Structure 1
Amino acid sequence: MSHQDLALRSSHAPNGLALVAQAFRRAAASQLHPRMIAALFLPFIIAFLGAVVLLWFFWTPLTGWLDSEASSWGMFNTLDGWLVAVGLFSLKLWLVPLMAAGLLLPMAGIVGLGIAAIFVMPIVLHHLEKRNYAGLSRQGQNATALGTWNAIWVGVLFCLGWFFTMPLWLIPPMALVLPVFWWAFALNRMLRVDAMIEHASPAERRLLWRRHNRQLWLLAACLAVINLIPLFWLVMPVFSALVYAHFCLDAIGRLRAETVIDL
């Protein structure tokens, strides 16, 4: 292939925002495949069971602790007393359960995302490898161990960050900004690793993460916004894996195609 041929090919290749849009289009098409539809149930079932367990064991102690903590918030109690006095409602009666649900349900969600990253992503990669990226060699090492460790530390940091920034939700518009930020962080830090570790070498991963850092964060931000819509919760773990897998596998293929040998 000559330099002129490579330049012509590169001029027609998508880049920037086009790569992000391409990943979403391909993921939507792949999600309709029966195998990917079947893959939806594993992370959903895990997340559902996790939510049941968390609510069963931690709801009462957590709401009790939040109720006792809320009693020391002077301005909160003043406002709550005023609302009760004028015959409206008790702010504490509504806020404490909402805060408890806001803590426990995201923890169940991050468990579902971790399951998707560790166990569903290999299924996604194998499916796409045969249908869309045939011939893309696997050069990764210790994929399972790296993916598991990455999912653990990202999940722990997500839970801690979510917990300690919840008081900021009372400051508009942080109740919208912070959930999007933390889910974008979890999606990007978890899925960009699992989408590459089986196919890309360590050197390729470092190069591609630097080259496509903005696009990877944009993927995560878009997915985090979609994640705010309850109707999409069922498909989000697998669909997110598909988006990142399409983007990363395509990026690996284009990186390896950059080597030019003039005949």
Structure 2
Amino acid sequence: MRLLLDSFWRAVAYCMHPRVIVLSFLPLGLMVVISAVLGYFYWDASVAWMRQALDAWPLLSGVWAWIGGIFSSDVKAILAPLLVVLAVTPLIVVVSLLIVAGFMAPALTRLVAERRFPELEQKKGASFIGSAARSFGLTVLAMLALVVSMPLWLIPPLVLVLPPLIWGWLTYRVMSFDALAEHATAEERNTLLRTHRMQLLGIGVLCGYLGAAPSIVWASGLLFAAAFFVLAPMAIWIYTLVFAFSALWFAHYCLDALARLRLQQAVAAVAPPAIDMADAKAAASQWSAP
């Protein structure tokens, strides 16, 4: 428990570090770059296609005429760009978060290692390709578990338990592995994951609940629709900050646990071997014999 609380407050403190703050704003900057590139090459074509799609829906022709009579303007000319933005934004958000997440976790682990454990030897127990393949496989399993468990979400208590538990399991399996990938051997990693399984799973579940925080912004209904261009970046920044906090918490806990494990192994290696009591008694009887 002491290791759990110590790593928690250290992760909170590290969220104030300038490098972490810069990384938390990285998805927003990446979104701006991707949006600018896509807008430069595909904006006019996308708006024209959306305008044609709106015109092709005969069921909505009466709605457009009614709205146009009220506002005395071409509603479709205003609605088409807005629909393009709403349709493309989730894709840009997901791509930006995935790209940043792929670089953020190793960068934050290195930050923790440089500041707290500069003498901890890096034994390279896992490769980048192996880590990425493992993360992909676990993500697929988590998505399947979410789909299979959806009927149970109709039961009110379970909808508050199952999704965070599944995401917590995924977070625990992925981030604990990544936190130890550079420093621990495969044997050390397996030992730590087995010994600290419940603590790491608890960290993952708590981070899973924290990951639901941006849902409050998305669920603001009409307020979100009215202030989309303000609330959407805020929600994305919260997502990134929660991810950074989770990576820092796992990095502090796992590297601290690894340092303790190696210290225990070093002490055990230099400790004198225990004397078997039967052999000691036999030796004492021999010396005491006339």
> TM-score scaled by structure 2?
0.59
2:121 is equivalent to residue 137 of structure 1: yes
Partner Cα separation in structure 1 for residue 173 and residue 250 of structure 2? 11
1:246 to 243, 252, 274: 252
Deviations along 1:116-159, whole A, 9 cap, x unmatched?
2x321221122112111110010124431121012101111122
2:202 is equivalent to residue 196 of structure 1: no
DSSP 3-state at the match of 2:124:
coil
Which of the pair has more CA radius of gyration?
2
2:105 to 106, 110, 121: 121
Name the residue aligned to 1:153: 137
Partner Cα separation in structure 1 for residue 94 and residue 2 of structure 2? 29
2:157 to 144, 148, 173: 173
Alpha-carbon offset, residue 113 of structure 1: 6.5
Amino acid at match of 2:258: I
CA contact (8 A) 1:20 1:218 kept: no
DSSP 3-state at the match of 1:196:
helix
What is the percent sequence identity of the aligned residues?
33
Partner Cα separation in structure 2 for residue 161 and residue 236 of structure 1? 23
Amino acid at match of 1:37: I
Paired positions, count: 190
CA contact (8 A) 2:126 2:185 kept: no
Name the residue aligned to 2:226: none
Mean alpha-carbon deviation: is it higher for 160-169 or for 245-254? 160-169
Deviations along 1:30-69, whole A, 9 cap, x unmatched?
11111011112346778998xxxxxxxxxxxxxxxxxxxx
Mean alpha-carbon deviation: is it higher for 226-235 or for 126-135? 226-235
> TM-score scaled by structure 1?
0.65
DSSP 3-state at the match of 1:233:
helix
Amino acid at match of 2:196: H
Partner Cα separation in structure 2 for residue 213 and residue 194 of structure 1? 15
Partner Cα separation in structure 1 for residue 198 and residue 182 of structure 2? 22
2:241 is equivalent to residue 257 of structure 1: no
| Structure with more relative contact order (C-alpha pairs < 8 Å, separation 6 or more) | 1
- Change over 3 Å in CA distance of 1:215–1:222 after alignment to 2: same
Task: Say what the alpha-carbon RMSD is for the aligned residues.
Answer: 2.7
DSSP 3-state at the match of 2:181:
coil
DSSP 3-state at the match of 1:195:
helix
DSSP 3-state at the match of 2:122:
coil
Name the residue aligned to 2:240: 234
Amino acid at match of 2:242: M
Partner Cα separation in structure 2 for residue 172 and residue 178 of structure 1? 11
Q: Which runs of 5+ in 2 are unaligned?
A: 35-89, 215-234, 273-290
Partner Cα separation in structure 2 for residue 249 and residue 190 of structure 1? 15
- Change over 3 Å in CA distance of 1:42–1:193 after alignment to 2: farther
2:224 is equivalent to residue 218 of structure 1: no
Higher helix share: 2
CA contact (8 A) 2:126 2:186 kept: no
DSSP 3-state at the match of 1:200:
coil
Q: How does 1:69-84 map to 2 (within 5 A)?
A: none
Alpha-carbon offset, residue 163 of structure 1: 1.9
